[in-house]
């Protein structure tokens, strides 16, 4: 039997002769079974469910962090310290202000030097143990002039150390005098940790705090501390190297640390009143990359450029090899991220062999000189013998690279 079918809302119009349908079709209609109706219902439900799942998937893809996944967000927000030159900013370039061979300022072993200007206007340098002293000291009227060793001991007590093998001292001003950061040897595992010593006078004697400031023995200890006070904010920081090389397997000063990591340079804010009361958490600001740095990065030193950016000097490779060098990175924020620059100094630049372990001063003196780096390099002594790592003074300038 043939009949016309029309739809008007939910009412089926069975009699086409009585009214005109809104939609008509001429076909033979068989009665719809219950199974057919159920199949249609199931099909609609399945399609709705698939649509809902698709919308949920799209929403998850658009959001970097699924609800409740705070761990993933923190990983994405973690700063990267191996980044390219940022867009919208020009790079910071350092120029060495010399066209000739640079001669030693102290032709004797005076490694890992720091430099600071005293209340008397003279410049003072401090260095790793040597020449019969736990901490060596020297004085000059001009950082680029003649330096003379000071024949006295800088350290007054033993405290937590073995009382020998003091490395890489760094002296800074604080409210009541001077604070010295240093790498001291602890007596249990004979590894080095960061210590603090204090004196009202720049030449000491410096009294060591009874406990180490930073001593992560399971990570190899901590070495090469350096202080930095931001003149813009008044905030003070200490930066050091986690000495992963001390626990790395393999021979030599580096060991096998893999392709990257293991010797991070760590920054800690401290109170400018005493130079050691911690403020907030420490943060790693740089670490090694095998291809560029070899087994390590070390000897960090921070300064601030005139345009407000932060410059981090550091050394790479083993100090006992010709590959040891001076590098730098820069950042808009003291905590990073830091942007790597090309190597600044290495063998055989300006006659150097293995230059590194540097400290910068940004002060100007009466001669109008710019910044000066004090660093060590291999050299012969004044009497023709092996001088070890001698003191050099290197003038440099900061420039914006167009």
Q: Is the dihedral of CA 69, 71, 76, 77 positive or negative?
A: positive
Helices and strands (H and E) in the chain: how many: 3, 24
- DSSP character for 205? P
Nearest to 352 by CA among 364, 361, 363, 343: 343
User: How much is the pLDDT for 39?
Assistant: 57
User: How much is the pLDDT for 43?
Assistant: 62
d(CA 397, CA 402): 16
d(CA 335, CA 286): 10
User: How much is the pLDDT for 21?
Assistant: 37
Q: What is the phi-psi region of residue 158: left when phi exceeds 0, alpha when psi lies from -120 to 50, beta otherwise?
A: alpha
Architecture of domain 94-151+217-398: 5 Propeller (2.115)
Q: Please, what are the averages of pLDDT over each run of 10 residues along the chain (402 residues)? A: 35 34 38 52 65 57 38 30 42 88 95 95 96 96 95 96 97 96 97 98 97 96 97 95 92 78 95 98 94 95 89 96 96 94 95 96 51 92 69 87 54
Is the Cβ–Cβ distance between 28 and 3 less than 8 Å? Answer: no
User: How much is the pLDDT for 40?
Assistant: 57
Q: Is the dihedral of CA 272, 277, 280, 281 positive or negative?
A: positive
- DSSP character for 29? -
Backbone torsions φ then ψ of 153, nearest 5 degrees:
-85, 135
User: How much is the pLDDT for 64?
Assistant: 41
- pTM score, whole prediction: 0.76
Spell out the domain ranges in the chain. 94-151+217-398
Is the Cβ–Cβ distance between 267 and 239 less than 8 Å? Answer: yes
């Amino acid at each position: 039997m043939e009949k016309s079918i029309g739809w008007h809302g939910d009412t089926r119009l069975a009699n086409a002769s009585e009214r005109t349908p809104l939609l008509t079709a001429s076909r033979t209609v068989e009665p719809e079974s219950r199974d057919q109706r159920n199949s249609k219902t199931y099909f609609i439900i399945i399609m709705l469910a698939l649509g809902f799942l698709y919308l949920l998937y799209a929403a998850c893809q658009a959001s970097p962090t699924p609800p409740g996944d705070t761990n993933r967000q923190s990983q994405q927000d973690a700063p990267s310290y191996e980044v390219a030159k940022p867009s919208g900013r020009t790079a910071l370039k350092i120029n060495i202000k010399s066209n000739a061979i640079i001669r030693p300022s102290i032709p004797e072993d005076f490694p890992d030097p720091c430099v600071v200007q005293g209340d008397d206007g003279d410049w003072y340098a401090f260095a790793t143990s040597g020449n019969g002293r736990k901490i060596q000291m020297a004085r000059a009227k001009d950082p680029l002039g003649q330096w003379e060793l000071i024949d006295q001991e800088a350290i007054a007590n033993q405290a937590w150390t073995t009382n020998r093998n003091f490395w890489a001292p760094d002296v800074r001003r604080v409210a009541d005098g001077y604070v010295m950061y240093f790498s001291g040897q602890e007596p249990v595992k004979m590894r080095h940790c960061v210590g603090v010593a204090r004196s009202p006078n720049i030449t000491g004697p410096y009294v060591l705090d009874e406990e180490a400031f930073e001593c992560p023995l399971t990570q190899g200890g901590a070495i090469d501390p350096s202080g930095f006070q931001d003149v813009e904010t008044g905030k003070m920081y200490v930066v050091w190297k986690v000495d992963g090389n001390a626990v790395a397997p393999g021979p030599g000063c580096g060991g096998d640390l893999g392709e990257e990591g293991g010797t991070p340079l760590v920054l800690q804010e401290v109170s400018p009143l005493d130079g050691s009361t911690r403020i907030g958490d420490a943060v790693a600001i740089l670490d090694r990359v095998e291809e560029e740095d070899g087994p390590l990065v070390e000897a960090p030193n921070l300064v601030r450029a005139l345009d407000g950016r932060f410059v981090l000097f550091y050394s790479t490779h083993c100090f006992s090899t010709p590959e040891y060098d001076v590098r730098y990175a820069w950042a808009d924020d003291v905590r990073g991220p830091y942007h790597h620059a090309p190597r600044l100094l290495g063998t055989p630049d300006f006659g150097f062999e293995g230059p590194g372990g540097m400290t910068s001063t940004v002060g100007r003196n009466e001669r109008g000189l710019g910044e000066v780096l004090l660093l060590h390099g291999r050299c012969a002594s004044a009497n023709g013998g092996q001088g070890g790592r001698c003191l050099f003074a290197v003038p440099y300038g900061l420039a914006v690279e167009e």
